[in-house]
Structure 1
């Protein structure tokens, strides 16, 4: 949705306090600057001699039903010099289920420990880089994983509370212990309680969920490729996106202790997430969007626009809810799939994250709050910015499909049309097959295109496609896809690296020890030449036309349903065409229905609401005076999307 002018500076509510906070933090944390308050933290503290310790925090829950409160393991790395001086430091925290089972980052790093049980290697660069700059880094094992008690409930109460409890402990509101089962208390007297959460995928999802509790002390979150509603990870209006549910994911990450104790929790995950795609109380508990009004932390959101694991509806609806509630925010959108910004824009990412945490946790007036809200990758390694996102001039514009001179090859424009188009669900075909044959009548899709554009046309935000369809069977799935028809060079998001290639050379980010290197393998963009680009996608089970509970369809009856298309930011260049494709099963991206229906679209009651910068006027200008669409041709495009990962994390 467009952002009002008053939100251009996304930190305005703090502006009056910034100078005072910066001065205070400067006095507490770093040597006084020669002239005025500091604008950037510097690596003046020893990483090699940093304090490394473990604490177990009481969550107040007994998820594994063993008669005692669950405790979660918290591994801490913090500057020894500041501890000796009695100075308190802010915290950067990554709460994860992956620290022992699967690893973190592009190199699948795991936590390692010394003979005393203190952490030696903390995955990723956060501790190496930020501890010498006056921060503590905290790595939390979610309940039921690694060295923590409890059960994995995949984004539910136990997941969120196990991370929230640590923030409460950092702020003196929860109990911590020096051992997993002992009685010796541990207090966080070394921190000022100001905490920033960061993490990719499941980790970033936990950051979203904890922020949605409104917990005091959480000042900012940096969710990367994160889920905002677990239903939308597994389903799209009843259409299943994966052939498994949260019970599988829980079993993938839980510890041996949890595996032995948590059968009841596993069964609840099975019972509460039926394969019908019906909305249940389990999904309500794992919907953070509904609680966006509670978010007090600022949000720096990062997502790949071609992420086919945590699909981009998750960031779009979360962003819109944050905007509605005037949450301070910033966003990066890449052309990659499920990839961390450290691996697609490393130098700029470390610098920006550094300044973000300095501003949010140290209170430094470094100007990041006056910079553009959004960075968008327009071509591989080519980035543009927007003062606000989506841009103020963005308006939802209704585009309507019309019949063409051949069946299945129609038009797309502003005018209302009539007529019908018919297609048969073919689970062997995917969105890339449909796009490659957009100008050919094929039985598996209905395609509608504009004329070649006479000027660029930008889509920014989330689209919706309303379809009226008559099925021949009692079950039917629908897909709607927006496509940019024209040649380009893009990141190869469908390749094994999802848009990156990992090299052998390394670059270093922070200090290293013998057991924890700050040096990581370099990556570069993996690119491919295409004749079309899938811009946005959405899916639905037609049986969910009336509610979030699916029903059997009556063959021969027309039903109307609206598909939510994933958020994006894409420019369709001059000379290209914009296409809308409506079809059945999108191979590898949704599971097929029980039957193989044929569906007839009523074009007079089918439309797309597309967020265009400049609205209908921009569309009219871009299509005015253009020539007729080209004759039928075969577009080779990127290869079909790989089968989407079932685990929202790094396992390679």
Structure 2
């Protein structure tokens, strides 16, 4: 390979250099944000926008929808010195967001819209016919940075495509970087349709363009074609949250050219992202997928749109709401089936390196586990990095990064994609199946050969009689501010704790705990829908989700389960500190300690802050008493029953996946309660009776551990 770049060289003929299995920072970097700093004539990074044609006409204007992508490629590749592999982020937020999501939902809750027939989405529409072709270089010379870096009118004029420099680490190492916000975003056609095949296929189309199998255009009208002739046809998808979901969605299409994915806190199934075993799981005001669809619809801010086009978008999202409301909190295959990506695991052709925070309660750890199992089912190479953070990427550019087993996170990803996109023989494919940051010492990382374990510890309660728990928050002294604090340390009218004796030696849980119990509705006015209260000021449309009058059945008579690490003495642990359980503070341990290389700024090295308490919630779950058939698989939550007072049913409730070490002197506490004020859309009045002796928990363990008896405390 050629030598490294020096600032005195004026040519753009560098090619990727690999040393020690990593792509090296040999390419110069030029800023892509402002006209003052970005000169397309001399820029070492070629930047432009492409509009890729999809197979659909989601917005019903009689033309196939085009989706916008922002392309960044080292100029050397565009000039033909080498073919560049691509790192691709499909991120619906990238082109702008609608920050007024909550007020908007209240404004449209009672609005009358024209009817929308989703069957029209499959109508065949003729493709655009190119009338000319333009090269990537010529297109870049005409490009205006304002096409990818402009004020976001939906977010207080914050600049959009703010992640234009998120992947500079990879640009200076010779990778191309492509960003797209997909359907319904500014610059693209169509409507955002969360969790749908249409959304998935729009993002897939960009992979096909990079692979040479689909037409992309230089203009919004679809007249002048442009080819990705600088591409080697190999793509890796990555991103966090929604952007971590789309790599898995696209992977389940088996699209050619997608060689690997690195999903971070991605969703495997949209139903169990919002719900859990028939019960509400997510934040109350965001329970309707139409909230997220509107939030991502930066196309509203396209000044060329007519009022009819905006109204059509609103009607489409309103129909999404009505379709979701029909199913309530139960699994409705007509609504949720397209977003249950794990159902198509057999189509997966690529590898995956999955990244997940073990304290992420935005996108739960169950999503990681379902995704991991899907790749195993497909027989493809899959590895995981599990850290102790919440909803973050191990390196948060422009902010901070944590070391991953003493290494820079981006170096680990560099090694992985260098292997899969450039064929570098560096052994990346043989990295440990599981690399996990330990909860008791965040500087310690351990490996496992498999996520599945050969051992289980059974926890049982031998006490006879019954326990009654209710939903009287006030009597229990419970609020959104202190729910975990109360649940972790004492039983009450609202919760029963089942506690083991202290462990004499450290034990490590790994996987999904299943709790079994028998319970019955004790009291409550079912005919009045258990006297519902809008406890979190949600809009009236969202409030219809769990109402009998809308779904035609009893719904969301909730049980909440927590598995806690408890101790008589306070101990340090990593826990979220905000009401939404979405933030874990960090402490900077070394300024500029995360090295990006080349001309890319270094970020601060950080560690997670700890709290000092007598408990730590290890994992939790939600379940609806109306869904006794519901289990681990999302589709098992389809069938619900009408509860009768005093009529017992057997339940098996799966907590979110985790890996956690309980230290000597600590105990496990299984907490069974009713409503969690933070995750409560509809506060209801009811009580539940539990047979104490029926309460058991099967806990997967990394080593053989004696079964334990739990007592009520």
Matched, 1:450 2:500: yes
Partner of residue 40, structure 1 = 22
State the TM-score, normalizing by the size of structure 2: 0.74
Residue equivalent to 1:115: 144
Q: 1:329/1:535 Cα in 2 relative to 1: closer, same or farther (>3 Å)?
A: same
SS for the counterpart of 1:99 is coil
* Partner deviation per Cα, 1:522-548 (whole Å, 9 max, x = no partner): 654222112111111111111122452
Aligned equivalent of 1:271: 322
Residue 60, structure 1, aligned to residue 145, structure 2: no
Unaligned residue ranges in structure 2 (runs of 5+):
1-12, 31-43, 100-141, 150-160, 527-553, 630-636
How far 1:321 sits from its partner (Å)? 2.8
| Number of the residue aligned with 2:706 | 619
Q: Give the corresponding residue for 1:603.
A: 692
Indicate the residue corresponding to 1:478 in structure 2: 559
Give SS of 2:496's match: strand
Matches within 5 A, 1:350-499: 350-379=410-439, 381-390=442-451, 393-403=453-463, 418-427=464-473, 429=478, 433=483, 436=486, 440-471=490-521, 472-473=523-524, 474=526, 476-486=557-567, 487-495=570-578, 498-499=583-584
Relative distance call for 1:98 and 1:434 in structure 2 (3 A) is: closer
- Following superposition, the deviation at residue 349 of structure 1 comes to 0.8
Q: Deviations over 1:129-161 (max 9, x none)?
A: 112212110011211112111100012122211
Change (3 A) 1:598 1:119: closer
Q: Which of 559, 567, 586 is the matching residue for 2:657?
A: 567
1:188 is paired with a residue of what secondary structure? Answer: coil
Task: Give 1:118 shift.
Answer: 5.4
Distance 1:488 1:294, change over 3 A: farther
Distance 1:439 1:166, change over 3 A: closer
Match of 1:246 among 289, 311, 331: 289
Matches within 5 A, 1:508-523: 509-511=596-598, 518=601, 520=603, 523=606
Give the Cα–Cα distance (whole angstroms) in 2 for the partners of residues 437 and 240 of structure 1.
19
Is the 8 Å Cα contact of residues 587 and 609 (structure 2) preserved in structure 1? no
Looking at structure 2, the residues matched to 72 and 320 of structure 1 have their Cα atoms a distance apart, in angstroms, of: 31
Within-5 A mapping of 1:502-541: 509-511=596-598, 518=601, 520=603, 523-541=606-624
- The 3 A distance-change label for structure 1 pair 116 and 233 is closer
CA contact (8 A) 1:394 1:460 kept: no
Cα 1:204/1:365, change in 2 over 3 Å: same
Alignment match, 1:93:
88
- The count of residues paired between Structure 1 and Structure 2 equals 566
CA–CA separation in structure 1 for the residues paired with 2:214 and 2:385: 34
**Closer, same or farther in 2 for the Cα pair 1:162/1:261, shift >3 Å?**
same
Give the stretch that moved more between structures: 200-209 or 336-345: 336-345
Equivalence for 1:411: none
Cα pair 1:335 1:493 within 8 Å, conserved: no
Q: Which runs of 5+ in 1 are unaligned?
A: 1-27, 105-112, 404-417, 633-652
Structure 1 residues 293 and 29: CA distance shift in structure 2, 3 A: farther
Deviation at residue 315 of structure 1 after TM alignment? 1.3
Contact 2:98–2:296, Cα closer than 8 Å, also in 1: no
Structure 1 position 352, deviation (Å): 0.8
Aligned 8 A contact 1:444 1:584 in 2: yes
Q: Name the CA distance, whole Å, in 1 between partners of 2:17 and 2:442.
A: 38
Tell me, in whole angstroms, the C-alpha distance in 2 between the residues paired with 1:433 and 1:117.
47
Query: Distance in 2 between the 1:125 and 1:377 partners?
Result: 28
Does the Cα contact within 8 Å between 1:122 and 1:139 map onto a contact in 2? no
Asked if 2 retains the 8 angstrom alpha-carbon contact of 1:194 and 1:219, the reply is: yes
RMSD of the TM alignment (CA)? 3.0
Cα deviation, residue 289, structure 1? 1.3
Deviation at 1:441, TM superposition (A): 4.6
Q: Is the 8 A contact 2:14 2:27 kept in 1?
A: no
Moved more, 259-268 or 313-322: 259-268
Tell whether the 8 Å contact from 1:372 to 1:385 is kept in structure 2 after alignment.
no
Aligned CA distance change for structure 1 residues 53 and 124 (closer, same or farther; 3 Å): closer
Q: CA-to-partner distance for each residue in 1:369-397, whole Å, 9 max, x for gaps?
A: 33322222214632322132326x44344
In structure 2, distance between residues paired with 1:235 and 1:488:
32
Are the equivalent residues in 1 in contact too, given 2:466–2:691 (CA < 8 A)? yes
Using the TM superposition, give the Cα deviation of residue 305 of structure 1 relative to its aligned residue in structure 2, in angstroms: 1.5
3-state SS of 2:677 partner: coil
For the 8 Å contact 2:459–2:698, the answer to whether it is kept is yes
Residues 171 and 31 (structure 1), Cα distance of their counterparts in 2 relative to 1, 3 Å cut: closer
Q: Which residue of 1 aligns with 2:221?
A: 181
Residue 318 (structure 2) pairs with residue 237 (structure 1): no
2: CA distance between counterparts of 1:306 and 1:42? 33
- Cα distance in 1 for residues equivalent to 2:373 and 2:49: 38
The CA deviation string for residues 301-350 of structure 1, in whole angstroms up to 9 with x for no partner, is 11111212112221122222322333211112222221121145156211
Cα deviation, residue 65, structure 1? 0.7
Shift in alpha-carbon separation, 1:94–1:440, aligned structure 2, 3 A: closer
Q: Deviations over 1:571-621 (max 9, x none)?
A: 11111001111111122034345x32221112343322211122xx4134x
1:171 maps to 211
Aligned residue for 1:354, secondary structure, equals helix
Shifted more, 482-491 versus 119-128: the winner is 119-128
Per the normalisation by structure 1, the TM-score is 0.80
Cα distance change, pair 384–394 in 1 and its aligned pair in 2 (3 A): farther
